[in-house]
């Protein structure tokens, strides 16, 4: 009867442990605003996660640069290696559930010596097998494997987060490089204008039509414009080196599209989404949630590790003297123990308490991450709208300044203005042109920040290098099935074989997305409150 009740007792103990962890590790509180930003109504409700970077960035050169970065960047290699490491840790934790089997084949001398008796030397040959299994009654091994699994999921989301940031970083550097090119071009054109003005001023000064002050001022303006050229050339070289490093290459010249212009249509294309969708969309949020679940599993392990473990052992084999009598004397030995470290209970209890505090820290970090993503999304939306408005205003200002320069030039020729006023109007025009060039660049940067704030840019496709041997076999089996299907079509720019492989890797990645999304969805559900007793 006791033998029948024992498995049920173990099951009840494990279930009691799980419930107790929910009690001591409370779920995070995830506040959701009604809307992300007051400018939300000015943007539509498209899902940015569905807008891949190759659809957002129309520049073919930038697309190729992003692809090269995702392939060659060393940090991406580290992130993929960490996924493999966490998968091995997960399998190792799962293997801890299994029993151990040892085989021993050996030979040794047994020496016995009694009082006033000669040494008795016996040569023994043995062939033994041992089967052992140890399992914590409160499921410590289950918690350990759960922790390893959550750490694996967190590593996948970490790779996706890095992918999102790398796309944003290389795109930002690319547009900043184009902005520097345009500013350098503007400086050179302005320098040429100042050079022509200086030559005219010098001619008029020598003929007595100009004051020396006006001529010297024209010389100063020309010299000041020449000073800016090496500064911009330095910034361009440094920016190219930054992009080369991101792309995993040695410093080299970076190709770019000099004809690129900003499209105002992006104002009607970028999304706002729903607050809950924002949390599910961001890989860094899902990474933080997986790390929180791993911390809870660690606390569960520390809780269960304080209590007894069941140890079962079976040992049998043959032993003989000499080797010809090896199979004459077989033996079998079985044992079972209930093991608990009594004097280590205080140490384990304190470790358990420390793990609870660690969980509370991770819980606070996750809640802070939720607040942080809403701030980033709101900031990105405000910056995007206001940067676009500033560009339009600067464009109007540039047109007005150009008219002012033309009018000042006419009045100067008619004797109505001093030449210093003409120089001043040109300085204002140059300053406005520089601001407008930077503002157009800021529009691209605001687009990037908005895109990243809503979790865009990463792919659910699981890295090829991180697939296990079992997954690789499944992938190749899928490829064979797809290639034999005449209705299966290849994606644009890919072969049918590569399309099939990507479909499999995407299915693996989507499964991980769903598993992490379930935790966040559970956080968003209203918590049931117990009714007070009457």
pLDDT at 54: 57
Q: What is the pTM of this model?
A: 0.82
Q: Pick from 275, 290, 399, 381: which is nearest to 28 by CA?
A: 290
Predicted confidence (pLDDT) at residue 308 exceeds the cutoff of 70: yes
pLDDT at 8: 46
pLDDT, one tens digit per residue, over 188-244 is 988 888 888 888 778 877 887 767 787 888 888 888 888 889 999 999 999 999 999
- The structural domains of the chain, with segments of one domain joined by +, span 49-271+284-459
Spatial separation of the C-alpha atoms in residues 359 and 145, rounded to whole Å: 17
Superfamily of domain 49-271+284-459: Outer membrane efflux proteins (OEP) (1.20.1600.10)
pLDDT, one tens digit per residue, over 251-268 is 999 998 877 665 444 444
Three-state DSSP class for 132?
strand
State CA 388 to chain mean position distance: 29
Between CA 258 and CA 269, with CA 263 as vertex, the angle to 5 degrees is: 140
Spatial separation of the C-alpha atoms in residues 363 and 340, rounded to whole Å: 31
pLDDT mean over 509-528: 87
Contact 322, 125 (CB under 8 A): yes
Helix, strand, coil abundance in the chain, percent, nearest 5: 70, 10, 20
pLDDT, one tens digit per residue, over 60-86 is 888 889 989 999 999 999 999 999 999
Residue 111 parent element (H or E):
strand 100-112
Instruction: Give me the chain's average pLDDT, please.
Output: 82
* 312 φ, ψ (degrees, to nearest 5): -115, 140
Q: Pick from 453, 454, 299: which is nearest to 362 by CA?
A: 299
Predicted confidence (pLDDT) at residue 147 exceeds the cutoff of 80: yes
Stronger pLDDT, 505 or 16, i.e. the higher one = 505
Spatial separation of the C-alpha atoms in residues 74 and 218, rounded to whole Å: 51
pLDDT band at 322 (very low <50, low <70, confident <90, very high): low
Predicted confidence (pLDDT) at residue 137 exceeds the cutoff of 70: yes
Packing angle of the helix pair 74-95, 60-72 (nearest 10 deg):
40
């Amino acid at each position: 009867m006791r033998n029948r009740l024992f498995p049920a007792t173990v099951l009840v103990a494990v279930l009691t442990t799980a419930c107790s962890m929910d009690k001591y590790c409370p779920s995070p509180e995830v506040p959701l605003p009604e809307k992300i930003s007051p400018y939300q109504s000015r943007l539509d409700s498209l899902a940015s996660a569905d807008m891949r970077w190759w659809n957002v960035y129309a520049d073919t050169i930038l697309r190729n640069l992003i692809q090269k970065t995702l392939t060659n960047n060393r940090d991406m290699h580290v992130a993929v290696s960490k996924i493999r490491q966490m998968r091995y840790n997960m399998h190792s934790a799962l293997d801890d559930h299994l029993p151990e089997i040892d085989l021993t084949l050996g030979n040794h001398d047994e020496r016995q010596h009694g009082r006033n008796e000669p040494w008795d030397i016996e040569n023994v040959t043995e062939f033994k097998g041992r089967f052992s299994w140890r399992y914590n009654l409160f499921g410590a091994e289950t918690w350990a494997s759960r922790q390893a699994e959550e750490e694996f999921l967190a590593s996948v989301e970490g790779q996706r987060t890095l992918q999102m940031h790398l796309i944003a970083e290389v795109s930002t550097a690319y547009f900043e490089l184009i902005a520097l090119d345009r500013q350098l071009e503007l400086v050179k054109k302005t320098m040429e204008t100042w050079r022509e003005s200086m030559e005219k001023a010098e001619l008029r000064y020598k003929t007595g039509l100009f004051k020396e002050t006006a001529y010297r001022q024209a010389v100063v303006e020309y010299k000041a414009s020449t000073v800016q050229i090496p500064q911009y050339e330095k910034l361009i070289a440094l920016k190219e080196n930054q992009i080369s490093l991101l792309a995993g290459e040695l410093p080299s010249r970076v190709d770019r599209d000099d004809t690129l212009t900003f499209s105002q249509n992006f104002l009607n294309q970028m999304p706002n989404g729903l607050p809950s969708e924002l949390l599910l969309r961001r890989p860094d949020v899902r990474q933080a949630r997986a790390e929180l679940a791993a911390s809870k599993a660690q606390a569960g392990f520390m809780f269960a590790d304080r209590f007894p473990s069941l140890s079962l052992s079976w040992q049998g084999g043959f032993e003989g003297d000499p080797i010809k009598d090896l199979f004459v004397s077989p033996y079998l030995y079985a044992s079972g123990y209930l093991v608990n470290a009594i004097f280590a209970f205080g140490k384990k209890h304190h470790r358990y308490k420390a793990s609870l505090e660690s969980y509370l820290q991770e819980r606070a970090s996750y809640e802070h991450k939720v607040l942080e993503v809403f701030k980033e999304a709101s900031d990105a939306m405000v910056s995007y709208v206001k940067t676009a408005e500033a560009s339009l205003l600067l464009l109007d200002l540039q047109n007005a300044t150009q008219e002012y320069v033309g009018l000042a030039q006419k009045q100067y020729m008619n004797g109505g203005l001093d030449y210093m006023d003409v120089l001043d109007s040109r300085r204002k025009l140059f300053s406005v042109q520089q601001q407008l060039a930077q503002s157009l660049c800021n529009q691209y940067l605001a687009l990037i920040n908005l895109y990243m704030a809503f979790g865009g840019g990463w792919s659910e496709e699981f890295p090829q290098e991180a697939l296990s041997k079992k997954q690789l076999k499944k992938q190749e089996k899928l490829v064979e099935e797809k290639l034999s299907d005449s209705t299966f079509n290849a994606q644009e720019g890919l072969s049918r074989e590569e399309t099939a492989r990507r479909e499999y890797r995407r299915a693996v990645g989507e499964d991980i997305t769903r598993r992490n999304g379930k935790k966040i969805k559970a956080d968003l559900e209203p918590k049931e409150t117990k009714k007070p007793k009457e």
